[in-house]
Structure 1
């Protein structure tokens, strides 16, 4: 089976499930072999609107927004790792007044500006006060310094420290395992740099024990052509 994060809120899209899927295309033999296509993503690509898709839903009991909506939230999801966060901001928009909700920051990364997934949606959520800040890291944009989400996190490390340590906020990380480990190490660096005598390794363990550090992590990604595929499921 293939596991995908649900990227829609039932409050906004009842009787539907949206997914954010990368169109996987790669070559073997060090890039010199034949072209291969991802089994499931290619299947989605060739589905017709009238066709049925059979799925099952697996719950993620530790990957939910905090019950206390006043707590700050930091979302980190490069590429298709943005999937669950689209559901998050839709849910916040449908249920919560922006006046009482805590700060919500989103760190997103992709190779080029044209691959900035849900760009218009994010801009609208910023305008509505659902997302308070959105950071975009571009790793291969021409004439632009190569940047990853970890780099942007370090730039605002003092504010992340305040949100996470002083204000008891939550961090959510979604994406491949290499990125997730990089974010983990970056948070340790931020805590060590701005926390004085705080033991960063111990504090990261505390975050996990308190269920304030949440991960939705998958294996190493292949070179992909990122695109969106939305498919609904009748109730």
Structure 2
């Protein structure tokens, strides 16, 4: 399925590094999804990166290459549209070891360790003899895979073909040069009408309660906010009785002035009495009673309206980093449970597991 770009809305200050964007895309026919679902989007590799690899391989852009999935294409087309070049797949190192006798990576752990934080250009620079393989190397590369995004809008009967994506445009400095996210850069630089290959991917383990009267607490950092924009649109559509006590959002970012994502929409819901919004901007000055940096897990301890919702049968949703946000949130929730006397220390782990099994705590972490 293909979708065309309708509009892009920058969500961060122009001076902020790694800008965040809310983009709207439209398919040719109505799409079927639920709040919490994902969409995959396939981008294209940056031209400058492709040119650098062609130069390292000493290939003409028109050199014919035969790929298993795409058939015969030019080297430029292969590197732009079909092959993964921004991530170095350890599987490539395995092929080089098995088929060409490289011994620098004796096992899978060594392959993963070398591939971590490197891309194809790093490999070609560090191993000129691999670059000398030229077009013979390209069929060994991993196909360019689509990237997953949480859908940041609820199904809309008045615009059944449209959906939103909230994402951070990846650009980092590593090993002396810039690295760019494939699809995030493609979406950020696209023009209205540009087409992207997409697919809807259900996420059945991240669903709103069947009863719209059930309180929900949403916890996110950065673009982990995306599915909660979908949740809130759906809850508001369910009726005006969904007040702030039923919809709570704990949202964390770095600076309020630079990175308050979806600020207009969130504050509009808050001002309308539909959302209790609690924010934690980690790099802004903090009151004396707050730790610094102040993260969303700290907000869960300092402002515990969510705990009342939990005791009233509410559900908790967490979206963001598995290692950072999710672990910190789990610890904060258990700390609050213990301090409130809801569970003794000996029962905290089992209580968490039981809540996960019952669907009262749902995670979408990466």
With the shorter chain as reference, the TM-score category is 0.7 to 0.9
Instruction: Choose which of 258, 268, 272 in structure 2 pairs with 1:128.
Output: 272
2:314 paired residue among 169, 173, 182 = 169
How far the C-alpha of 1:142 sits from its partner, in A, is 5.2
- Residue 364 (structure 2) pairs with residue 212 (structure 1): no
Identify if the C-alpha distance between structure 1 residues 100 and 142 changes in structure 2 by more than 3 Å, giving closer, same or farther.
Answer: closer
Superposed, which structure 2 residues align to 1:22-101 within 5 Å?
A: 22-29=168-175, 33-98=176-241
1:137, distance to aligned residue in structure 2 (A): 0.6
RMSD: 1.9
- Cα deviation for residue 151 of structure 1 reads 0.5
Structure 2 Cα separation of the partners of residues 99 and 6 of structure 1: 22
* Structure (1/2) with the larger strand percentage: 2
Say whether the 8 Å CA contact 2:317–2:361 is kept in structure 1: yes
Which residue in the other structure is 1:200 paired with? 348
Deviation at 1:206, TM superposition (A): 1.2
1:99/1:105 CA distance change after superposition, 3 Å = closer
The one-character-per-residue Cα deviations of 1:116-163 (angstroms, maximum 9, x if unpaired) are 0111101111122221x1011111125775310001100124x43332
SS at match of 1:205: helix
Aligned to 1:6: 151
After the TM superposition, which segments of 4 or more aligned residues of structure 1 sit over 3 Å from their partners? 99-102, 142-145
SS of equivalent residue, structure 1 residue 86: helix
Where 1:53 maps in the other structure, the secondary structure is strand
What SS is found at the alignment partner of 2:166? coil
Deviations 1:77-99 (A, max 9, x none): 11000000001111111222225
- Gaps (5+ residues) in structure 1? 219-235
How far apart are 1:214 and its partner, in Å? Answer: 0.7
What SS is found at the alignment partner of 1:17? strand
Match of 1:149 in 2: 296
Post-superposition CA distance 1:192-230 (Å, at most 9, x none) = 111255321111111111111111111xxxxxxxxxxxx
Distance 1:13 1:77, change over 3 A: farther
Are 2:327 and 1:184 aligned? no
The structure with more radius of gyration: 2
Shift of 1:102: 5.6
Q: Deviation at 1:14? A: 2.8
Structure scoring higher RCO (CA < 8 A, sep ≥ 6) equals 1
Structure 2: distance between partners of 1:180 and 1:13:
34
- Counterpart CA distance in 1 for 2:242 and 2:164 is 28
